[in-house]
Structure 1
Amino acid sequence: MRQDWRPEDAARWLAEAVETGHPLAPLSPELAPGSVGEGERVALAVLEELGLAACGLRLAPGPGEGGAARSLAGPVIEGRLLPDNAAIALPALRHGAVSAAVVAVLGRDLPGGTEDKEPPAFAALHPAIDIAASRFREPPETPALVAADLGGLGFLVVGRAFASPPVAPIPVTLGPAGERRRRGAGAVPVDLHAALRPVAAAARRLGGLPAGALLVAAGLTAPPLAPQPGLALRAGFGTLGRVRVRFEAG
């Protein structure tokens, strides 16, 4: 880490953008994080600046070095969780990207550390729609900037918990609500427990989480969809559940 670099300096600008909703100009080289680790420290400092506590961890696709995609971790904030069929005003989003997701509620503490001695225990699994967004005026192009930008956290629309947690891959779809499609058309088979394993590993690396905290695996469907005025989307999880979101002009 650079000797004269402090995460709090960049965090103040990002925190102001979170509070006001105003777009943030690119950070100067002196302020910008130079690595994903530095970006994660900025994100934590943003929450501290705002007086907020994370209620979980989200892992979502982001830009990688040399154009290759990589998954980036970021905090989950309670105020960004919305109920099924929520309406989201487009002015609240910048560079929005929508994908299906799964939200897991930890049934017991997930200790920190790098060793994966036993899999995490889940009290519940929920279908969800992840709406990624940015505080920056222009889309952040480096993994470090996305990590600093709360990992691209926008909103999470969360449905009712699955009555019976899946033990095998299930078909996951995302598309316009009300659109008629053949059974299984466009579905992506997803092992939800496998999708959550790297989220749990990231949470351990960052110090662990208590029982009741959330693990979020976003990007279950690709490519992400762009929100449009009047668009209603439905994420289907086979026979286990579904969740909807609507986008409004504002």
Structure 2
Amino acid sequence: MKKSKSWLHVCVHFLLWIILTISSYSAKVSPVTDDISKLFTLKHNIPKDYRIPVRYVPKEEGGMCWVKLNVFSLESSLHDLAHKFGNISSNRNDISVIIIILQDLRFKFSLVDLVMYEFDCHYREERWQTEKYFDFLEEYLIAAKNEGDSYDCHPPPCPVTLHDVLDASDTYTEAPPTPSSEDRECPTGCTARKEPRLLPEVVERSLISLLFIPLLALAFLLVWKVRSRRNGEDLEENAGESGVFTGTEGTAPPLDAEISEKNMLNVIETV
């Protein structure tokens, strides 16, 4: 009887040990591998020529922080992709499961926003076909299976773009500014202090132009006065000449009177 009880205790302890071992192993296993098979289903349900937008950091630039850098971007990309399907669509349900896996990974990591900010110049935005997108997502989930929260995140130098090269060439070829007259007056190379303006330059120019209006009016008035004086003198001279001619004509005897006087003289001579 004692032997049977002892064997019973051994069996019970053995079963408990198996249960605890399995539960602890399942707790250690990442949820990433639980539903990774859904990626295969999504890859074949979505058309191959469909372009899925994604923002990511390449593995060669992300280094040890590659998983941490892409977790939020992939989650956002899957959210946008899930909204393309209806509420009762199986594709939307499968995508929601992958989103939950990425959210669990993101909660496990710390300082994700800070690391993303430090690697901001290394992010790329592209549109991938369905097969390439889900292959990248599968590679990411496999790499994230045993990924820990690494703190050795040192971003490499930002890649040089054509825009940066053009900006650098512009800075080298830019001619130095020519010194103004005020700068030339300073013999030691210092910059002369400019007195503050009471009014803007445009207002000062307009006021100066307004000063010419009364000067032009005064000049016009003088010219008009001189011309009017000359015209008055010309009228007086013309009036004097006309008076002389009329006086001589008034003193001249009329023609009939001369004829009558001649007739009277002839009569006296005959008598």
Alignment TM-score > 0.5, same fold = no
Structure with bigger strand share is: 1
TM-score after normalising by structure 2:
0.19
TM-score after normalising by structure 1:
0.20
More contact order relative to length (CA 8 Å, sep ≥ 6):
1
Report which of the two structures shows the higher radius of gyration computed on alpha carbons.
Answer: 2
